[in-house]
Chains A and B, each alone.
Chain A
Amino acid sequence: MLRQIEGSKAIAETVALCRPEVVCAYPISPQTHIIEAVGAMVKSGRLAQCEFINVESEFAAMSVAIGASATGARAYTATASQGLLFMLEAVFNASGLGLPIVMTLANRAIGAPINIWNDHSDAMAVRDAGWIQLFAETNQEAADLHVQAFRLAEELSVPVMVCMDGFILTHAVEGVDMLDQETVDAFLPPYEPRQVLDVDDPVSIGAMVGPEAFEEVRYLAYLRQRDALERIPEIAREFTQLTGRESGGLIRSYRTDDAEIIVVALGSVLGTIKDAVDIRRDAGERIGVVGITAFRPFPSEAVRAALAQARQVVVLEKSFSTGFGGVLSTDVAMSMRDLDFDLRTVIAGLGGRAITRRSLEDMLKRANDDELEPLTFLDLDHDAVERERERMRKVRRSGPSAENLLRDRAAFSSLPRGGGA
């Protein structure tokens, strides 16, 4: 049923339809509304046969999810940013042990400086942790991806992280066609674990593995991620057959048929990019968009095929590797080996800076005129940066840069930048 609903609430209700048996989480913005709503459904009995476990930290949350999953329970948790970092050791354990936990990541920047707003630094920090990582463009897709995530995770015994932009999606109230129990039950069979802690049939999970077998264990994990590249589009197709709705899959192309320039991005910014592309198209520029839904495993072949005819590929990222540049760009470049094209990286939206259609249009116009630098920071205040560099050159004890930049902004700007207030 189509409902006007907050993103977090849509996720919570959809997760409940997936019949999780253990939910354990520690609240952190912007994930909080999801967990509050799931907790309320467990308490009211609407989500029956589920235990909601209050834990003292994110590390405990993931550890409880691991324990629950190992006993054969369908386990769910959610976190963001510093919370994800705090559970990091257990995040690697979940995938290393092959436990099909599903986790929502309400994407948020990582401090310091402390910042509660959206970017993709948290997801990128764990891109090599062995989890499948799916990115949602809308709240509809975020809800649908959770159902697909449980199916995928349990089939392959690999944990799945559903990434949705914190605040931008989690706190947005928009139309979401909510699934019903019958549909979800038809799509998602009961969890049949590959390995289970069972007193009647004892096994040990989590053995010490030395050099004699460690590489093989890792290679098997790699193969399961390769399998996921096959299963993700198949599961998405099945979902479409059942619901009539396209959600998930590996990548999605928009107006790329005759495109000379293609923008690649993850998550909710794709909507604003499409609006900007429509306007540049009207101006006669042949620009298209490829949205990547499956970031891990990275769909190299699909990306290569979708971008093959482009003269220029612009990768727009809400994260960056401080000592290098684009993270997603690197994956795109690897996928495009031996092809003749120009790669441009645009870093945008860090720490919640608004990515406006106007800035995107300007950027696309520059791309079309071949004026885009290899690495561009969208809407960066170069003057403020230069003033701080100058302070650092002049005085040894120039003080903390973050605080200096805040003072600088207050002094030099009267208008708010970004998300409004």
Chain B
Amino acid sequence: MFQVRFHGRGGQGVVTAAELLAVAAFDEGRHAQAFPSFGSERTGAPVVSFCRIDDREIRTREPVMEPDALIIQDATLIHQVDLFAGLVHDGYALINTSRPFNELGFEDSLASFRHDRLITCPATELALEHLGRPLPNAALLGGFAALTGQITMKAIDTAVRERFEGPVGERNAAAAAAAFDFVASKVKELARASTD
């Protein structure tokens, strides 16, 4: 089972993001379960959602306690929430920021994690470029596909277009594809750096 925790702020669409990932995994014939952190959330407040993907029926209903991957929609949460709580040691993190990971101040606390799996991606910038609105959801899912290989870019593309009709779907899909390429090249770069 692969477990993902999404962090964002109320209104940024963490619930939609988890749902889109679940739908994409379902479209690829896998079992998936997405659910929010069940709060009385307000716009701007820190919010969490979860997605599980497995090849067999998912029975558990507990919150994701030990995520295999984190998707962080808002880098300003870093000073407010224990974002990396429970992340498994070979886990992935995709953080929405234009700054590189080593500038975020996690070098020490995350020293034992695999740094080739902790990636930042300027998803908001990509969303502004392709969508014209600062909604990084679809872009982050594209980045997630490139980072983890748990889902294909094609499935993300289909799920995004199913969810958002017409031009909005087109633009979100374009943002997702751009983020996929960005993260894919970054992953390659880090792999080269570690073999050098």
Contact = CB atoms under 8 A, between A and B. Distances in A.
Contacts of B27: 4
B76 to A, nearest CB: 15
A420 B63 contact: yes
A117 B62 CA distance: 14
A411 interface: no
A269 B85 CA distance: 24
A192 B85 CA distance: 57
Contacts of A416: 82, 85
Interface stretch (A171-179, A227-235, A237-245, A386-394): A171-179
Interface string B43-70: 0011110100000001111111100000
Given A167-B38, A419-B38, A174 B22 contact: yes
Contact of A421 (B32, B33, B35, B48): B48
B174 to A, nearest CB: 24
Interface residues of B, number: 34
A174 B85 contact: no
A404 interface: no
B22 A356 contact: no
A143 to B, nearest CB: 16
B60 A421 contact: no
A275 B61 CA distance: 10
Contact of B58 (A6, A118, A174, A420): A174
Interface string A349-373: 0001011111000000000000000
Contacts of A175: 26, 31-32
A358 B64 CA distance: 12
B66 to A, nearest CB: 10
Interface string A402-421: 00000000000011101111
Contacts of A174: 22, 31-34, 58
A421 B61 contact: no
A272 B37 contact: no
Interface in A322-360: 352, 354-358
A355 B65 CA distance: 11
Contacts of B65: 356, 358
